Amino acid sequence: MTENHPLPRPERRPRRLRRTEVIRSLVRETILPPQKLVLPLFLIDGENIAQPIDAMPGRCRLSIDKAIDECAEAMKLGVGAFALFPAIDPALKTPRAEHGLDESNLLCRAVKALREALPDACLITDIALDPYSSLGHDGLVSAEGEILNDETVDILAQMAVLHGQVGADIVAPSDMMDGRVGGIRAALDQAGQEKVAILSYTAKYASSFYGPFREALDSAPVDAPNVPKDKKTYQMDPANVREARIEMVLDEMEAADIIMVKPALPYLDVISQLREHSDLPIAAYHVSGEYAMIKAAAERGWLDERACMTESLTAIARAGADIIFTYAALDYARWFREDLA
């Protein structure tokens, strides 16, 4: 720049609106209150147990009494929805996962106890065979090592009816069998459970970010002859996004109430595509590996946990998620309250 040839000065200066915190707050496009979060809980049999999960610092497997305490605490902070995952005693797991249909199982007992202790809580149950399967798959495995679709849907539909009967508000099929939303809806309606909503794991990817979750439930596919080593024949290929829209259309036709993308942060494009092409509420699951990465880096002093967690969750909401499942729900709700104070 010389005096004779000054650079043109900009007329538009976006920095004017970044000058102070109050102005930044006025123009902020995405604000995520704790009411939009779902806290996933890992349940374990027993009493007064909070068993830390190695790969998920800050999260524990909780006995039902402890889970009630944690949910009550969460509700005071504005988090009123809970996704329940039972860590089933390995002795009760079988190849056909029959224990999943036993009304006295851990999950059913937990739903009843939570429903009674916290009538206003929204209880979301997972519909899939893996917590109860000795093979670690979400569906039935044939003798030849194939995951059986329609036979699995029949069981999932019975599971959904059972969960509705014990008090679930929302059932969430996470298995990725074809036609399961329609099957579950029909079974619920036939059983007089038309009030029970379906949150479908619409675009659930065969992701490597589920590792800590499978450790928490000890639910990884087992290494045995004629048992698939991964879930790639039913969960989606991480390379695909158009396929997510096909799943979305099918779930809409089958009367899903809420559609979900999982994981969240590596799949923001999928969230935004579903947002653009569907009017249903959209959920996103900030999964165990996404949580663990931030926790691990923060423990080493490499990342600021609060800032990175908040940035991640805000980005997921910005992409179009109305509802976010996150293990950081309690921490986030406390930070949100502190920021208000």
How many residues bind to ligand PBG according to rule CB under 6 A?
A: 11
Nearest CB to ligand PBG, comparing residues 5 and 211: 211
From candidates 288, 310, 312, 326, binder to ligand PBG by CB under 6 A: 288
Q: Which of residues 203-232 bind ligand PBG (CB under 6 A)?
A: 210, 213-214, 231
Window of 126-134, 163-171, 302-310, 333-341 that interacts with ligand PBG by CB under 6 A? 126-134
> By CB neighbour count within 10 A (0-12 exposed, 13-18 middle, 19+ buried), where does 272 fall?
middle
Nearest CB to ligand PBG, comparing residues 23 and 294: 294
Q: Do the bridges between strand 140-141 and strand 147-148 make them parallel or antiparallel, or are there none, so unpaired?
A: antiparallel
130 in contact with ligand PBG (CB under 6 A): yes
Confirm whether 204 is a catalytic residue: yes
**Alpha-carbon span 230 to 157, nearest angstrom:** 24
From 36, 66, 93, 204, active-site residue: 204
Q: Which of residues 43-62 bind ligand PBG (CB under 6 A)?
A: none
From candidates 110, 126, 161, 261, binder to ligand PBG by CB under 6 A: 126
Nearest CB to ligand PBG, comparing residues 206 and 241: 206
Q: Which of residues 266-285 bind ligand PBG (CB under 6 A)?
A: none
Confirm whether 229 is a catalytic residue: no
Least distance CB 241 / ligand PBG (angstroms): 19
From candidates 39, 43, 106, 128, binder to ligand PBG by CB under 6 A: 128
Nearest CB to ligand PBG, comparing residues 58 and 192: 58
Least distance CB 211 / ligand PBG (angstroms): 7
132 in contact with ligand PBG (CB under 6 A): no
Least distance CB 139 / ligand PBG (angstroms): 10
Least distance CB 327 / ligand PBG (angstroms): 7
From 66, 231, 262, 295, active-site residue: 262
Within a 13 Å sphere around the CA of 266, how many CA atoms are in the beta-carbon half?
Answer: 20
174 in contact with ligand PBG (CB under 6 A): yes
Window of 88-96, 125-133, 145-153, 182-190 that interacts with ligand PBG by CB under 6 A? 125-133
Least distance CB 236 / ligand PBG (angstroms): 11
Least distance CB 33 / ligand PBG (angstroms): 22
**Alpha-carbon span 321 to 309, nearest angstrom:** 16
Number of residues in the chain: 341
312 in contact with ligand PBG (CB under 6 A): no
**Alpha-carbon span 27 to 23, nearest angstrom:** 6
Nearest CB to ligand PBG, comparing residues 79 and 189: 79
37 in contact with ligand PBG (CB under 6 A): no
The secondary structure of the chain, three-state, reads CCCCCCCCCCCCCHHHHHCCHHHHHHHCCCCCCHHHEEEEEEECCCCCCEEECCCCCCCEEECHHHHHHHHHHHHHCCCCEEEEEECCCHHHCECCCHHHHCCCCHHHHHHHHHHHHCCCCEEEEEECCHHHECCCCCCEECCCCCEEHHHHHHHHHHHHHHHHHHCCCEEEECCCCCCHHHHHHHHHHHCCCCCCEEEEEEEEECCHHHHHHHHHHCCCCCCCCCCCCCCCCCCECCCCCHHHHHHHHHHHHCCCCEEEEECCHHHHHHHHHHHHHCCCCEEEEECHHHHHHHHHHHHCCCCCHHHHHHHHHHHHHHHCCCEEEECCHHHHHHHHHHHHC
- Site residues, ligand PBG (CB under 6 A): 126, 128, 130, 138, 174, 210, 213-214, 231, 287-288
Report the catalytic residues: 204, 262
